[in-house]
Structure 1
Amino acid sequence: MDQNMRQQHMFRREYFGKSLAVLCGMFLIVLTIAIGAFLLAKGMLTFTQFHHSIGEFLFSSAWKPSDTEMGGGQVGAAIYIWGSILTCTLALVISVPFSLATAVFMTQIAPKLGERIIRPAVEIFVGIPSVVYGWVGLVVLVPLLQRIFDLPHGQSVLAAGIVLSVMIYPTITSVSADAIRSVNNKYVEGAYGLGSTRWQMIYKVLLPAALPGILTAIVLGLARAFGEALAVSMVIGKMRAFPDSLLAPTNSLTAAIASDMGGAMDGGEFNAALWSMALLLFIISLLFILVIHLIAARKERIA
């Protein structure tokens, strides 16, 4: 009798845990769909209610939306889109070499030092609020660039790229290190057995074998960079113009949304255009997720 009661109790606990996990998973799915539907409904008003074309929104630089429900303004977001692409690309160019070098060092060259000191130090960067990165960039990096390049102001694409590179550095480093650790040790032993030096083993065997995971790390870092708003808005200059160099100020999608959404009239053309920019960022995020899944599927096929 006691045995049956214990089995029934264990069964109820197992059923409760399973049901709770399913409910949480379903809630996340419903929440994601709801957010996407809300962004779609708000973001499409630019094209349905105010009758602007997608081509104008994506490729025109004329940005002067009307802050009324009558519309009639211009909603070309090309400057913001180009600013986001330029700063995020620059952040990757700066961050990826340092991230890969750190990942290789902490997994292959000094693994004990890497686990005890370097990995915890890298993970500390993840918990730093973005406003701190932006503030340090504003009071330290911007004046430094201003003095070095003799600029009237230091807020620029370069400043935003450097700040973003520091912010995505821990993400790319941690995921790349995990990808390198997951490589089958037989590859390493085989490379040494064929007479390879350590560096030959790293760049001819280890890194190519870990490439799918490294690409996933880069895509995750790029997604983080595209979604960052506060730190970028503090150092990019927020000038509505195409930059003629990396030392020129510009603006980005996230910075524009963060600075203008609070002052836009609800239901107006300006508000709808900002929601369209938010929808574009959401679509970009979904594309990044799709790329990560494609890389993971390719890795499974190779394995």
Structure 2
Amino acid sequence: MENVKEELTKKSKKSKLERRGRIISFSCISIIVLVVLSIFYFVASRGLSTFFVDNVNVFDFLFGTEWNPGQVGSDGQPMVGALPMIVGSFTVTFLSAIIATPFAIGAAVFMVEISPKNGQKILQPVIELLVGIPSVVYGFIGLSVIVPVIRAIFGGTGFGILAGTFVLFVMILPTVTTMTVDALKAVPRDYREASLALGATRWQTIYKVVLRAAVPGILTAVVFGMARAFGEALAIQMVIGNAALMPTSLVTPASTLTSILTMGIGNTIMGTVENNVLWSLALILLLMSSIFNIIIRLIAKKGAMKK
């Protein structure tokens, strides 16, 4: 009797494997969470040193327009106004997203609704090729093609927000297109059939039924593309001009948070004001990336609730 009870209460081999799998999964998740928290702590501790160690005013940093960390202004504070880079980053991000969205929606509609076979044969490989091109190649193309064209049309040096916008437009187009294709494919076929059965044309079905049903997915694709554009560094640095000045037009040299970071982080000494303010710029980038991710999750949650 005792042997039977022991056999019944003894853990099987499958239960041991399941427990081992849970431990491994929990360990991997814990490591990922720890790494993310460590990144946030490291960047925040360095970035906040500008305000708590170097006593730089937060409002002067966020809304100041003069960037020269090595010099002190008339008020005795370092000249570390980050507003020109913040404005430059948001401008190129929004402009590239505005230009990329119609092209992405058009390409996705063609691939899903109009010509799925030709779309998969022609457009899909092209989009995958664009995804695999390194950012430095985009930068060289922008430097060799886009900047001279802008210089010939508008005059000046050709460097500026407009050149950065066109480079980022090409870079985020594959991401927005791919996610838009997935959003259109997620629309139930019943929606299309019901619309056609009521007498709607194919274009009316696409515009008034399919695209409207896919709005949450399309918005998620656009915001994801904006997050990609906001964090791009090397390609935008090569074409924007890297002038830490408030942009007065789209064809004058400007700068972004990432371009100033990549230029200056290797030329400063750890712990100095010049280095701390760069970490503060990195903290702004990190916070904006988190905000983009929160927006994506909210849009996806809203879309799931509608379904």
Deviations 1:137-186 (A, max 9, x none): 1011111221222x131111111000001000011000010011001111
Aligned partner of 1:172 in structure 2 is 176
Equivalent residue in structure 2 for 1:105, among 107, 110, 131: 110
1:195 aligns with 2:195: no
Aligned partner of 2:98 in structure 1 is 93
3-state SS of paired residue (1:152): coil
Q: Distance in 2 between matches of 1:67 and 1:39?
A: 24
Instruction: Tell me the percent identity.
Output: 41
Aligned partner of 1:54 in structure 2 is 58
Q: Distance in 2 between matches of 1:176 and 1:105?
A: 11
3-state SS of paired residue (1:65): strand
Map residues 215-230 of structure 1 onto 2, 5 A cutoff.
215-230=219-234
1:117 Cα deviation after fit: 2.7
Runs of 4+ in 1 over 2 A off after TM superposition: 7-22
3-state SS of paired residue (1:74): strand
1:271 aligns with 2:287: no
1:21 Cα deviation after fit: 2.4
Q: Distance in 2 between matches of 1:166 and 1:10?
A: 51
Equivalent position amino acid for 1:81 in 2: I
Aligned partner of 2:3 in structure 1 is none
Q: Is the 8 A contact 2:66 2:245 kept in 1?
A: no
Q: Distance in 1 between matches of 2:32 and 2:187?
A: 32
Map residues 251-262 of structure 1 onto 2, 5 A cutoff.
251-262=255-266
Equivalent position amino acid for 1:118 in 2: L
Equivalent position amino acid for 1:284 in 2: M
Q: Distance in 1 between matches of 2:128 and 2:13?
A: 41
List gaps (5 residues or longer) in structure 2.
1-7
Q: Distance in 2 between matches of 1:112 and 1:22?
A: 43
Q: Distance in 2 between matches of 1:126 and 1:10?
A: 42
Q: Distance in 2 between matches of 1:36 and 1:116?
A: 43
Q: Is the 8 A contact 2:68 2:80 kept in 1?
A: yes
Aligned partner of 2:143 in structure 1 is 138
TM-score, normalised by the number of residues in structure 2: 0.92
Aligned partner of 1:80 in structure 2 is 85
Q: Distance in 1 between matches of 2:121 and 2:24?
A: 37
Q: Is the 8 A contact 2:156 2:251 kept in 1?
A: no
Aligned partner of 1:160 in structure 2 is 164
Aligned partner of 1:116 in structure 2 is 121
1:53 Cα deviation after fit: 2.0
1:22 Cα deviation after fit: 2.2
Q: Is the 8 A contact 1:228 1:254 kept in 2?
A: yes
1:13 Cα deviation after fit: 3.9
List gaps (5 residues or longer) in structure 1.
none
3-state SS of paired residue (1:66): strand
Structure 1 residues 256 and 270, CA gap change in structure 2 (3 angstroms): same
Count of equivalent residues: 295
Q: Is the 8 A contact 1:175 1:213 kept in 2?
A: yes
Q: Is the 8 A contact 2:56 2:77 kept in 1?
A: no
Aligned partner of 1:28 in structure 2 is 32
Q: Distance in 2 between matches of 1:139 and 1:105?
A: 31
Q: Distance in 2 between matches of 1:199 and 1:74?
A: 56
Q: Superposition RMSD on alpha carbons, in Å?
A: 1.8
3-state SS of paired residue (1:52): coil
Equivalent residue in structure 2 for 1:184, among 184, 188, 201: 188
1:24 Cα deviation after fit: 1.6
Q: Distance in 2 between matches of 1:21 and 1:170?
A: 32
Equivalent position amino acid for 2:99 in 1: I
TM-score, normalised by the number of residues in structure 1: 0.93
Q: Distance in 2 between matches of 1:63 and 1:241?
A: 8
3-state SS of paired residue (1:64): strand
Q: Distance in 1 between matches of 2:130 and 2:14?
A: 42
1:116 Cα deviation after fit: 2.7
Deviations 1:2-55 (A, max 9, x none): xx9xx9554444443333222222211111011001111000011101112221
Equivalent residue in structure 2 for 1:284, among 285, 288, 293: 288
Q: Distance in 2 between matches of 1:86 and 1:63?
A: 18
